[in-house]
Structure 1
Amino acid sequence: MDDGTDEGDDTVGRLLRGAALGDAVPADVPDAWSLFDRSVRETPRYGHGWRAATDGTVPEHPLAGLPRAVREGAPLTTSELALALCHPDGRTRRAALRRAGDRPELLPLTVLRCADWAGPVRDTARDVLEGALDPERAAALLPLVLRAGRRQQGAFAVALVREVLRAAAPERTAALLASPDRDVRVFACRLAVEEGFLSPVELARAAFRAPDPAVQDLCASAALVSLAGGGTGAEDAEDIDAVLAPLLAARGPRARSAGVTGLRRAGRPERAVPFLADRSALVRACARYVVRGAGGAGAPAADPVVWYRDRCAAADDPTLPPGAVAGLGECGDRTDAALLRALLAHPAPGVRARAVGALRALDATDVRELWELLDDPAPGVVREATVALLPDAGRLPVDELSARLAPGRPRHVRSSAFRLLAARGGVAALRAAGALLDDPDERLRRRAGQLTQSWRPSAAEPLGDAEVGELLLRGRHLFSSYVLRRRLREAGLPDAVPPGDG
């Protein structure tokens, strides 16, 4: 600390000054225990750095007496035992573990010692943890256990907690699905699925609520087993609806796609038709799979392409979902380009953007049509048009793109023009970057600096262009003198650096 009496970590310093462990280390922050452990180990064990007394002597470091006190059984506070559990000396850590079993507040440090590099310390810690762990403590320690489990010797504590929670009431594991810690949610989900702690309906609802793709996948897949004769209890129409309803209404595309796939297993493929226009490409693909298999009993299978064409045929339909336009691009062909081009003037920005993306997917774009969209008021449309124009960046008019960099233009228009000029390369790209090096827009300014730093002369342009030298010198603050001279030399301008710059 600043006064020299504390070590590099404030938590260690507070404990050395007599603070209670609970006040110094937040028990509900797993990373705080690892930080504390590392801080104690890195604490100097001698007097170096400690403030000298008035007589010039340096006081003994408070950690220096811990090894003897622990081994001799001297009375120690919980804070002192916590410091001993993290002591650099392995014999001290092991002796402290033998005295920590009846102090639950020290269990987080015992968890860390279960992955200790020293075998005897590791074995003692595992015995202590195994004797002290119950379902309540296992649930509380789980975030720390999972983090410690990433260490080379960390698997034991994870396996032990798994066994304790497996033997506990299912409700305890189910409650962990709502934990604020992502790792805990995924762990609890896997355990609940493996042990069958949740019914199919509960699994579907968990997938509906889960923000994590991994949890969505696990819960949704397990719920769908009931629809495939897995013996999980979904045996009639009411059960099937109860499982499918949360999945089909989920915000996460993984859960929603599982619900759509479940429609086929449940024998209800007709309900997948609306999902052909879903906002997610994954869900649309699953819906097409289900709809195509909707034949049977002599009836022909439905063709999603026909459905997409029918929906996109009404170019002025204000209710046309953007997903239907994207879907036509995913499974149509180049004969559908006329339908998609008519949608480039649709009043809905989402439809216009998906029409551009669909034309690009079908390799049916027209440079002139896309050029007109670079001034669209919707950023999404301009972004799609820009991506489609990138392969033709060398054919676009440089002057008109440069004019779009003007500060008065909308930000998405300026960003698009810069991206296209950068893709063009050569002096045009360097000129665009130079125009934005002092721009008030921080993101554009950063991109301009990055382009300037990475710029190299184009093989199609002659060396020795004086403008290149001026532009590189405009960005001299981005280079060291050595690198600037090298860039100028590569551009055929070895003598362009003014005196005093190198």
Structure 2
Amino acid sequence: MRGIKQGFKQVNAPDDLLVDSIARLVLPSARGHRYASDDLARALFSVVSDAAPAGEALDVLSAAGPRLWIELDAAMRPWLFEYGDPRITRAPAVHEMSNPLAVALAACSTDGRVREKAVGHPLMISDARLASVLAVRAVDWAPAVQRKALKVLSEVLARPDAAVLEAVVPVTVRLADRRRADEAVKLIRQALLRADDETLSAVRRCEDLRGRRFAFEVSLAGGRMDERQLADAALGESDTVSRARCAEALAERAIVDNRPELVEELLGAGSARVRVQAMTTLVRLGRAEAGPRFLADSASMTRLIAQWAVRQAGDDPAERYRRQLASPPGLGARGLLAGLGDCGSTADADLVLPYLRDPRPRVRAEAVRTLRRLGAQTDLSGLLEDPAPVVVRHVVDAVRAAGPGVPVERLWVLLGPDRPSHVRQAAHRLLVARDVWTRIRADLSLATDEDEVLRRRARTDLDVWRVRDSATTYQRCSDEQRIGLLDLLERAEPAVEERTARALRWRLSGS
């Protein structure tokens, strides 16, 4: 950044280099990096006097997204002006507002009279690139500036244009929580409702998520989306909130008009919320036959609705799961196991056990999870050395939920440096869940380990013990334990925080 600042001190720097610098500073400025915004403001004042590079710079700014002018407007005040930068205080182009960039910079002045004059400049209406800064001024803290900006903005939006709306809507939505933003939000809402279908559809496709979501909200509230548009949005919109709202709107139409065919297409949606909405609607309309198709769905909410649909049809979803799991189901095994965990019983454990040997790690992991959910008393300790970390993680959860079951001697073996990292992490988790001195021993054993993850976890857990648990450590340790722990502490002390080591020595001496 220092190099960029030094570059801006070169008043005679080539304009093309300054425009390149502006392009590089736009992204960090839009992300809220204040120093980048300060440098960007200086660069803009350096090119504003020359119409050609000023136009190029404004093109870059207008394509940078809705946050840029909000951040840049804040960066322009107060210190950049108060420090008396000669390119700012003596920039004739800005005072004369001789080009669009000069108008934009004047609209960010600390002087309310200058802002008001800039907002009333004819270019504010004719140049769509200034729409974003006009939206910022529409929530200005100075009443005179805001009134003028709202009047100009209403003229700009009198004939809603897609390009202008795509610039104004995202900025205004981001300013909506400001105290004086209500009138601006009302203006763009009215403009969206006045816009023709093609323009409104274009705003719903804009790149900015929050602007797109607002356009969907207005469209749905105003009834401006037909059935095809609702279905397309429910199936293809990237914003999960808008996608779900469109699915809800289409489901409501299907129920009111008794037209189940409106939501049948949504059963194939990639979104679980949309599939759930479609299935719920079909069941309410007496069409529960889609339920069995989704019993093995990967999303739990979809499976639960499918199970409800099967029950509504007079069948038992648990029996369906049992029948399909009795013979190898192939690709749907994971979802079927999860479904049996939803509605099965402890007696179903024998159906799950064969899947602990499945060649697919995710299926083995789901089998372990299902056994835990069913409350089955099964020895899973043999899977603590499974080659798949995801399986071992689920085994640890199951073992911890069932209480101490794995012999502690076995866990010390699994903690050894010859074991894979994920196996050692599992052994550490189970050891620290035992008694306090086993926990301390495990942490001290790993405090200088070569494995960075294990080393960091062990040191962190020791610090947690000191802060949270040391005051309530009343369990005594044997002389043999104390000697071993003091020896471990001696070796690990350089790696352990001093306060933690001191607390450990005090506790061990008290024991």
Task: Give TM-score scaled by structure 2 length.
Answer: 0.79
Distance 1:390 1:129, change over 3 A: same
Distance 1:411 1:69, change over 3 A: closer
Q: Is the 8 A contact 2:254 2:262 kept in 1?
A: no
Instruction: Provide the residue aligned with 2:406 in structure 1.
Output: 396
State the identity %.
Answer: 32
CA displacement at 1:283 relative to structure 2? 0.2
Distance 2:451 2:62 in 1: 43
Instruction: Provide the residue aligned with 1:51 in structure 2.
Output: none
Q: Is the 8 A contact 2:44 2:57 kept in 1?
A: no
CA displacement at 1:434 relative to structure 2? 4.4
Aligned pairs for 1:198-209 within 5 A: 198-209=225-236
Distance 2:330 2:386 in 1: 18
Distance 2:70 2:226 in 1: 37
Instruction: Provide the residue aligned with 1:31 in structure 2.
Output: 67
Q: Which amino acid aligns with 1:352?
A: R
Q: Which of the numbers 1, 5, 11 marks the counterpart of 2:40?
A: 11
Secondary structure of 1:211 counterpart: coil
Instruction: Provide the residue aligned with 2:242 in structure 1.
Output: 215
Distance 1:97 1:194 in 2: 32
Instruction: Provide the residue aligned with 1:54 in structure 2.
Output: none
Q: Which amino acid aligns with 1:466?
A: L
Instruction: Provide the residue aligned with 1:459 in structure 2.
Output: 474
Distance 2:416 2:238 in 1: 41
Distance 1:90 1:18 in 2: 24
Distance 1:68 1:322, change over 3 A: closer
Q: Does 1:172 align with 2:185?
A: no
Aligned pairs for 1:187-206 within 5 A: 187-206=214-233
Aligned pairs for 1:278-293 within 5 A: 278-293=297-312
Distance 2:149 2:374 in 1: 62
Instruction: Provide the residue aligned with 1:298 in structure 2.
Output: none
Deviations 1:154-209 (A, max 9, x none): 33333322211111122333334443322233223222322333333432232121
Instruction: Provide the residue aligned with 2:117 in structure 1.
Output: 95
Distance 1:289 1:353 in 2: 26
Distance 1:302 1:201 in 2: 34
Deviations 1:102-142 (A, max 9, x none): 44322211211222233332222222211112232112322
Q: Is the 8 A contact 2:138 2:181 kept in 1?
A: yes
Distance 1:469 1:221 in 2: 61
Distance 1:320 1:135, change over 3 A: closer
Deviations 1:303-362 (A, max 9, x none): 212212222233x45455211111111112223233333433344433332222222222
Q: Which of the numbers 373, 384, 388 marks the counterpart of 1:378?
A: 388
Q: Which amino acid aligns with 2:353?
A: R
Distance 1:262 1:473, change over 3 A: same
Q: Which of the numbers 139, 142, 150 marks the counterpart of 2:169?
A: 142
Distance 1:178 1:429 in 2: 55
Cα RMSD of the aligned pairs, angstroms, is 3.2
Secondary structure of 2:380 counterpart: helix
Q: Does 1:311 align with 2:324?
A: yes
CA displacement at 1:282 relative to structure 2? 0.3
CA displacement at 1:471 relative to structure 2? 6.4
Q: Is the 8 A contact 1:227 1:265 kept in 2?
A: no
Instruction: Provide the residue aligned with 2:345 in structure 1.
Output: 333
**1 or 2, which has the higher helix percentage?**
2
Instruction: Provide the residue aligned with 1:186 in structure 2.
Output: 213
Q: Which of the numbers 401, 422, 432 marks the counterpart of 1:412?
A: 422
CA displacement at 1:90 relative to structure 2? 2.9
Distance 1:426 1:109, change over 3 A: same
Distance 1:161 1:31 in 2: 17
Distance 2:239 2:94 in 1: 48
Distance 1:61 1:264, change over 3 A: same
Distance 1:124 1:399, change over 3 A: farther
Q: Is the 8 A contact 1:365 1:388 kept in 2?
A: no
Task: Give TM-score scaled by structure 1 length.
Answer: 0.80
Q: Which amino acid aligns with 2:88?
A: L
Q: Is the 8 A contact 2:399 2:405 kept in 1?
A: no
Deviations 1:352-395 (A, max 9, x none): 322222222222243xx221121223333222111112245655
Q: Is the 8 A contact 1:201 1:223 kept in 2?
A: no
Q: Which amino acid aligns with 2:62?
A: A
Query: Which residues of structure 1 form unaligned runs of 5+?
Result: 49-59, 295-300, 495-502
Q: Is the 8 A contact 1:201 1:243 kept in 2?
A: no
Distance 1:176 1:75 in 2: 31
Deviations 1:242-286 (A, max 9, x none): 6312x1111211111122223314433122112111111000111
Distance 1:83 1:439, change over 3 A: farther
Q: Is the 8 A contact 1:318 1:347 kept in 2?
A: no
**Mean Cα deviation higher: 418-427 or 355-364:** 418-427
Deviations 1:218-243 (A, max 9, x none): 11111112321x24xx74xxxx4463
